[in-house]
Amino acid sequence: MAFKTKLAEHEIQLGTRQYRIYPEGEQIAWIWQLFGANRFVWNQFVAAFEARYEANPELKFPKIGVLKSWLPLMRKEYEWLKRVNSTSLQFTVERFSDDMWAFLTKKQVKQGKPRFKSRKYYCQTATIKNVKYQTKTGAQAQIAVLSPHHLRIGKKNGITLRTSSLHNLRNVRIQKAVISYRQDLDRYYISFSVVKDKRQLAQYQVKSKKTGKAVGIDVGLGKEWLVTSDGKRFGVPDTFKLEKAMLKRQSHCDRNRTAIEKRAARFNHEHEEKIDKYDYANWQKLRKTKSKYQLKIRNIRYDYLQKVTTELVKGYDVIAIEDLKVKNLLGNHKLAHNIANASWGMFRRLLAYKCEWYGKKLIVVKPQYTSRICSECGKKNPRFAHMKTRDWLAIREWYCPYCHAHHDRDVNASKNILARAVGLGSKISKIQAGAQPC
């Protein structure tokens, strides 16, 4: 894919980091001009290709280089495009090309045709590539951190923005930045894709001492989210009250939306002047409250995941987890709430990158029957073979009919996961590769 920026041999992807920005006056205008220009270019491309395929469906889709060569022509035709950051326009073209390829080749099943973008969409974004450019005094980057709370974007016609604390941007390389505006929160954000030099990680590997311990981790049921093979249990972060408050707002918000859409339609039918559902101030206020709750819940979970993964990575040298597919789990209603809540995917990504960070080993094993096999004698319990899911989930403890060992359901499962990981032996490095953050 064209928009995946390249990594050097010695670099490791650290994911994205998001900060709030506080634009004022002309800076807001600058940002909205950037959004507008990118949307304009995108829509121009969408329109061009719709017309093109209507006229001649047999035509081949041009390569990215050809598409990019149209940009300077567009900038000549529409003078105002010259005033916005050019790397962001390039990125929009790359994005369009990728989406179009995915749609044409049907690589992703659900990939639809690229569609027109609207000014009223609740989240506006523009991406700036952090390329180096030459100045008289030497090379400079498109994005520069000036102080822990200030950031400069762009070369000519750039802006300096006030931001939330940028302290964890030290010693990393910024690949690209996405500026976004969340209409429902009325906030501006900037998020960076960052990479780090692996050679710098050595210091962290020394810092975290080897413990000589290995652990298997199973996803528990109910309030116990993670259960380790040595019997430690991690709960789900308590966001119950917040969720209740959020759900209340959400249903209120949804109900109002239906009413407002009807009202807007009626108004537009009877009047010359048109309005939109987004013009209703009270509804907007409600949406903002709802979104703030959602954000709070997300932050609490994220924070909790960070703590748990750090604790695990520091405490053990080898960590074994199941290769669970979140999608499969969500199909199971009993588990659905818990898993969605516990954000398994995020947990796995964090764990994978922290293991690399601290020089530990993460092993992902097949999840089949881990909880139905006795960890003492390795035999499958025949009692569980034809049980209904509901009955099966209700079992917390059991005795093995062969060796009469007493098992806690989740601890037994995590022991099996660990045993499976150890049994993999030489295959480990291959499997670990599959555990890379995606």
Subset of residues 363 to 392 that bind Zn ion, contact rule: CB under 5 A: 374, 376-377
Q: Compute CA 387 distance to the chain's CA centroid, rounded to the nearest angstrom.
A: 37
The single residue listed with the structure tokens 């121009």 is 44
The single residue listed with the structure tokens 């516990």 is 342
Q: Which H helix or E strand runs over 406?
A: strand 406-408
Residue 261 has what DSSP assignment?
Answer: H
Q: How far is the CB of 292 from Zn ion (least distance, A)?
A: 51
Subset of residues 201 to 230 that bind Zn ion, contact rule: CB under 5 A: none
Q: How many C-beta atoms surround the C-beta of residue 116 within 10 A?
A: 10
Q: How far is the CB of 365 from Zn ion (least distance, A)?
A: 20
| Max Cα–Cα distance, the chain, nearest Å | 82
- Pick between residue 15 and residue 401 the one whose CB is nearest to Zn ion: 401
Q: How far is the CB of 333 from Zn ion (least distance, A)?
A: 31
Q: Note whether 329 and 344 are within 8 A (CB).
A: yes
User: Kindly report the CA angle at 432 between 429 and 436, in degrees rounded to 5?
Assistant: 140
- Pick between residue 76 and residue 379 the one whose CB is nearest to Zn ion: 379
Q: Of the candidates 402, 408, 428, 432, which one interacts with Zn ion according to CB under 5 A?
A: 402
Q: With contacts defined by CB under 5 A, name the span among 155-163, 240-248, 364-372, 394-402 that binds Zn ion.
A: 394-402
Q: How far is the CB of 399 from Zn ion (least distance, A)?
A: 9
- Pick between residue 331 and residue 382 the one whose CB is nearest to Zn ion: 382
DSSP letter string, 276-307:
-GGG-HHHHHHHHHHHHHHHHHHHHHHHHHHH
Q: Of the candidates 400, 418, 421, 424, which one interacts with Zn ion according to CB under 5 A?
A: 400
- Asked if 403 touches Zn ion (CB under 5 A), the answer is yes
Q: With contacts defined by CB under 5 A, name the span among 134-142, 207-215, 289-297, 395-403 that binds Zn ion.
A: 395-403
CA–CA separation, 395 vs 375, rounded Å? 16
Residue window 329-368: x/- pattern of binding to Zn ion, with contact defined by CB under 5 A:
----------------------------------------
The residues, any chain, with a CB within 8 Å of residue 193's CB and separated by 6 or more, are 5, 13, 15, 16, 174, 175, 176, 177
Q: How many C-beta atoms surround the C-beta of residue 203 within 10 A?
A: 8
Helices (H) and strands (E) in the chain, counts: 12, 16
Contacts with Zn ion by CB under 5 A: the residue count is 7
- Pick between residue 146 and residue 377 the one whose CB is nearest to Zn ion: 377
- Pick between residue 179 and residue 373 the one whose CB is nearest to Zn ion: 373
Q: How far is the CB of 405 from Zn ion (least distance, A)?
A: 5
Q: Compute CA 428 distance to the chain's CA centroid, rounded to the nearest angstrom.
A: 27
- Pick between residue 202 and residue 405 the one whose CB is nearest to Zn ion: 405
- Pick between residue 123 and residue 405 the one whose CB is nearest to Zn ion: 405
- Pick between residue 283 and residue 402 the one whose CB is nearest to Zn ion: 402
Q: How far is the CB of 310 from Zn ion (least distance, A)?
A: 35
- Output the six-digit token pair for 23: 């634009």
Binding site for Zn ion (CB under 5 A): 374, 376-377, 400, 402-403, 405
